[in-house]
Amino acid sequence: NTYRLEPQNKFRDYLVRDKAQAILMNKLQQATYDGVSSPSFCASISEEILNAVKVLDFDRYKYVVSVLIVEKADQGIKVASRWVWDDQRDTWVSAKCETKTFIALALVMACYYE
């Protein structure tokens, strides 16, 4: 029997974290918070992160990328998610960029499929 259940190129979280962090820093380091343009900015950044992760060519994974930009206003924030998860194969990575006016958080979820 030659059917394999494991990927040949396993997901390496440190590579994805470095890519996501570099993209966030490159795009947002000199930016200031703008509530009107933030949604489209989040969409373009998440698309860029998704494309960068796909180039790494981890086989048998599908990705969900979420980017959140929140204005700094001396408040606390909690971000929560729920999903069906395979603890053995599925994983996630987060990256953060903080400036004087906002905080950006990128979340990359890698879901294994057979």
Q: Which domain holds residue 38?
A: 13-73+87-112
**Of 85 and 46, the one with more pLDDT:** 46
Q: Is residue 59 part of a domain?
A: yes
Q: Is residue 7 part of a domain?
A: no
User: Residue 40: which CATH number?
Assistant: 3.30.1140.40
Its pTM surpasses 0.85? yes
State mean pLDDT over 8-28.
94
**Of 94 and 80, the one with more pLDDT:** 94
Other residues' Cβ atoms within 10 Å of the Cβ of residue 17: 15
The closest of 81, 59, 52, 54 to 6, measured between CA atoms, is 59
Total number of domains constituting the chain: 1
Other residues' Cβ atoms within 10 Å of the Cβ of residue 88: 7
Q: Is residue 18 part of a domain?
A: yes
